Amino acid sequence: MNIDYTVQIWKEGNQYIAHAMPLDVMSSGKTPEEAKWAVKEAIDLFIATAKEIGTLNDILEECGYRRRDVNELISPPWILLEKQQVELAA
């Protein structure tokens, strides 16, 4: 069974940060590719641990995943993904 997720990557100092949504798992690397690989590894470990302790279904439901049938989970639909800004008071 597969689940899908979206990864956002940005740079902080000398590191690239990868954030996988809706799972809310993060990792980092020296390049965007390393960060993407690291977050996938973190997700694999996160899922394995959740399975082991018996909380995976609860976590996925809390993250917005819904079961279509026994073998398919559907991620929450992305409606909009955009960069915005807010003015900081002086």
**Identity of the residue numbered 10:** W
pLDDT digits (tens, 9 = 90+) for 1-52: 788 899 999 999 999 999 999 999 999 999 999 999 999 999 999 999 999 9
Q: Is 10:17 a contact under the CB 8 Å cutoff?
A: yes
pLDDT digits (tens, 9 = 90+) for 3-16: 889 999 999 999 99
pTM for this one?
A: 0.85
Side-chain-side CA neighbours of residue 84 (13 Å): 4
